Amino acid sequence: MTSSELRQKFLDFFEEKEHKILPSASLIPNDPTLLLTIAGMVPFKPIFLNKIQPNFKRVVSVQKCVRVNDLGNVGHTARHHTFFEMLGNFSFGDYFKKEACLWGWEFLTQWIGFCPARMWVSVHRKDQEAYEVWKNYVGVPPERIVFLGDEDNFWASGPIGPCGYCSEIYYDRGDAMGCGQSTCAPGCNCDRYLEVWNLVFMEFDRKADGTLEELPKKNIDTGMGLERLASVVQEAETDYETDLFLPIIQDLEKMSGNDYSILALKPPFRIIADHIRAIVFLIADGIYPSNEGRGYILRRLIRRAYRYGGKIGIHQPFLHELLFIVIDGMGNAYPELDLRKDIISKIVYQEEARFEGTLKSGEVFLNQLIEQAKKSQRQQLSGKDIFMLYDTYGFPSDVAEDILQEEGLQFNKAEFEDQMEQQKNRARKARGEKDQLMRSQKEIEELFTGVNSRFVGYNQSMVNTEIVALSDGEDRISQAETDQKVIIALKESPFYPEKGGQEYDTGWIDSEQGRVQVEKVYSEFLIEGTVVSGQIKENDRVWAKIDTQRRRLIEIHHTTTHLLHRALREILGSQVKQAGSWVGESGLRFDFTHFSALSEDEIDAVEDIVNQKIFEDLPVVISYSSLDEAQRAGVVALFEEKYQSLVRIIRVGDYTAELCGGTHLRRTSEAGLFKIITESSIGSGLRRVEAVAGPVAFSYLQEYYRLGRNIKNILGSDHHQILPTINNLIENNKRYKEELQRTFQSHARQAIFDALKVAGSNDTPIYLTHLFVENPPEVDYLKEIIDELRTRLKQGMVVLGIKKDEAISGVLAGINLPQSIDLNRLVREITKKIGGGGGGRPSLVQFGGIPFGSWEEFIKAIKKMTDQIS
């Protein structure tokens, strides 16, 4: 029976038992306490914790899971994995122990074909009820029911809260798989009794004092690993010999030319086969390689798999090809894999290629450290050395740790962390001014403690209000005079503060006695400005007016940012997620997750969509909703953001809906025009688009129009002929440069051979020197001349130089000189005294940086030292 058949049979069986089949949840859990979905019950955790009411009383699922807490065991044991599929059936206050046990036994014996005589169960030593169910209702002989303690048969969601006893179903794989001990039974650490299915009876609420109270509604949570089930059904020695892993391993055998049956190669084969499954599913769920969180887990798995490829003879990127065997095998169960296979492959290849160079350069240094440690019989390497490896080569400490463990070594982690902390402190010091600014803002806010203000700027650009508090930045004050900097709190404020990526409003505050120019808005009630005339006082009635032209430009850029976000997801894929943004009067900046640079066609397509939505004159509608309702309706929210229970939703027609607190246009047509200026990388897996809209976009295009018009006038051609004319000029220029270079090279060659005629009048060996000052050729051409001279001279020394910017570079060559003459060492000794440097082979050295005034000294030193040696 194949793993695909097992997966489907499980779903079909429980569907017959009136369970609702639910698809696998994402590997990104909706749970801030978890980085990844690590168990089948994770999506239902809010139900078990009684935070939400379920829509169904009975549910069945096959949940994709990833765990990385025991990476060191993966590939070295029969059943440790990073990615696995958890088959689970759940009851939310419906059936309980009797049904869970009966159906578990029925499925395994009647639907899968397990021999009842080889099946055992375990129950908690205090769970007499479960024992009675297994013995009296299921019919398991008492001698094959084992009592175990909390470590094996008790589940809890935490130190307090829902918990309960477990019951596990075991399969006896026979004496050959056992430890041979007379005490061998379920719960033993050997491979004979394989735990197949864990049934959790969630029946208690554990209090802070440790007491257990019965829950009013009792739940069932079961979990059975597909990999383990397949290994029993397919009679495989380990999970890796099942159809879930063997096709991957066989593909690896073809790639590497090595055989999985070789005992020493089994672990690397298994590690790669395991990791590639996790890699595929993590990326399919929108996780990209990065240096923190989920992204770092993915990056680490790719690096480990790539490095283990070297151990089976693969020394170039290969994972981006191997992953297609995973997608082919699991695409039917998880259609998202096939939809995203090209993106997954590109991301993996880029990460492999990036790590390839790091691994090659860093391993040389690390191997030297390992060799030194072994020579001095040390078991531990310096943390400073591993930090230098990281800081100099970008070599990850976790990869270094893996390699050291394979060599029976470790490094001083405390010393490494100390070096990392020192580096962070240096970075913190560099950010000191910014931190000081943030501290001062907090201090200012404390001056206004107890002051209340109401933001009215969504609907009003001008409001008649009252100054409720003033400050000079140091203390609260009652009034401020002309030219004085002041911080104001208004009873009602139309000024939007700097938040959510949107720039603050500017404008004016006018009273009968004075005027304040608003320069910055920290929050809804902290307005910074300068008294430009008269004076203002606490309790003054004032008119607060925003700069509507500036606000308009910001609204244009903010509204088009929403369109841009959706357009990027349309063109690049739903894995694109916002990673930051800024909108102001001069333009917008949008950061997002993506694995590669956008092509010109992709940029054009995004621009076209945004402009099309502008031209469609879509309404921009603001509404409010609970966060749960908004998420159920598919409104886009930033995972990292913290939202209030009541959220503000921006809908642009039926095209996009996002949670946002900023200010926006009323209709998209008010934006006028949209243009992307630049697209660039801001880090691994992160891209940035800078764009302009409205009048700013028009000014940008006008500037380019004028530039094109000037170019057209200079070239004297029609605008349709500008590009062909420029291309023609470039080609002609390139051709002229090549001809000029050939002329210079011809003159250089002639000069050298003229010098050779003069030097040739002397006895062998010949000393030939020449320095090019005017129109110097390239050093590579001098090497070509050296090659030609080797065919003409029986023996000699040739020194050819090029003067550029008062420094000389060139080549020094020996032709049939005695082996005792090492020109490489000779040049190093001379340049130590006169300046410059060089390197190469004993018979051919390239040098550079020699001061122009030291050329003759350089030549004399070479002649003198070679004369002494010969």
Cite the annotated binding site for Zn(2+) by residue number: 558, 562, 660, 664
Q: Distance between CA 298 and CA 281 in Å, rounded?
A: 10
Which residue do the tokens 């490494």 mark?
A: 416
Q: Which residues contact 568 (CB under 8 A, 6 or more apart)?
A: 576, 590, 592, 594, 606, 689
Kindly report the length of the chain: 870
Nearest to 533 by CA among 483, 485, 469: 483
Helix (H) or strand (E) holding 550: helix 548-572
| Pairing status of strand 462-471 against strand 541-546 | antiparallel
Report whether 432 contacts 508 (CB < 8 A): no
Distance between CA atoms of 25 and 472, rounded to whole angstroms?
54
Chain centroid to CA 416: 23
732 SS3 class: helix
CA–CA separation, 196 and 223 (whole Å): 9
Q: How far apart are the two ends of the chain, measured CA to CA in Å?
A: 82
Task: Match 């070479």 to its residue by tokens.
Answer: 862
Distance, CA of 368 to CA of 364 (rounded, Å) = 6
Over 750-800, what HEC string results? HHHHHHHHHHCCCCCCEEEEEEECCCCCCHHHHHHHHHHHHCCCCCEEEEE
Burial classification of residue 292, based on how many CB atoms lie within 10 Å of its CB (0-12 exposed, 13-18 middle, 19 or more buried): exposed
Strands 837-841 and 578-583: unpaired
Place of tokens 């030194």: 372
Token pair, residue 691, equals 């764009």
**Binding-site residue set:** 558, 562, 660, 664
Contact 848, 838 (CB under 8 A): yes
Helices (H), 214-340: 226-233, 246-256, 266-284, 293-311, 319-330, 335-339
> Please, what's the b/e burial string for 358-391 (b: 16 or more CB within 10 A of its CB; e: otherwise)?
ebeebbebbeebbeebeeeeeeebbbebbbebbe
Q: Are 441 and 346 in contact (CB under 8 A)?
A: no
Count the neighbouring beta carbons within 10 Å of the beta carbon of residue 101: 22
- Contact between 619 and 666 under an 8 Å Cβ cutoff? The reply is yes
Is 566 within 8 Å of 656 (Cβ atoms)? yes
Please check whether residue 806 is in contact with residue 851, taking contact to mean a CB–CB distance below 8 angstroms.
yes
Three-state SS string over 376-444 comes to CCCCEECHHHHHHHHHHHCCCHHHHHHHHHHCCCEECHHHHHHHHHHHHHHHHHHCHHHHHHHHHHHHH
Residue 357 parent element (H or E) = helix 341-375
